[in-house]
Amino acid sequence: MDTVMLQFRHRGMAPGLDEVAALFGLAPGEIDATFGVIATDPAEGLYTVRIDVRGADRVRAALAQRPADPAEGLFANPPIAPFGPPED
C-alpha cells in the first residue's frame, strides 16, 4: 500500500494506535500497526504513525481543527537506497 507519515503533537504519555485513530478519524486498518507510534521528537512531544494514503483526507480535515503547526501533518515517505557502488 502507498503510505505517508502522520506527525502530530501529543501531551503526556505516547498515545496508543486506537487513540491516534480516534484523534484523526482513521479506521484501525489504516494505521500501520507494525510501525506503531514513534516519538520523533520526545522533547517536543512529537509522534509519528505510518498510515494508508486513503485516510489522508480525513487526517487533513482533523488537522484543520487544530492550531496551525508546521511540525504537524502528512509527510512524504520516499524510497531510499544505498549510495554505492555508483552506477553508470
Number of neighbours of residue 75 by Cβ within 10 angstroms: 13
Residues between 27 and 86 with contacts to another protein, criterion CB under 8 A: 35-36, 38-44, 46, 48, 50, 70-71, 73-86
Q: Which CB, 25 or 36, lies closer to another protein?
A: 36
Mode of pairing for the β-strands spanning 38-41 and 46-52 = antiparallel
Write down the least CB distance from residue 47 to another protein, Å: 9
- Lookup: cell for 40: 520523533
Q: Does 88 bind another protein (CB under 8 A)?
A: yes
Beta-bridge mates of residue 75: 5
Q: Which CB, 11 or 81, lies closer to another protein?
A: 81
In eight-state DSSP terms, residue 55 is G
Rounded Cα gap, residues 27 and 20, in angstroms: 10
Write down the least CB distance from residue 38 to another protein, Å: 5
Q: Which residues sit at the interface with another protein, rule CB under 8 A?
A: 3-5, 7, 35-36, 38-44, 46, 48, 50, 70-71, 73-88
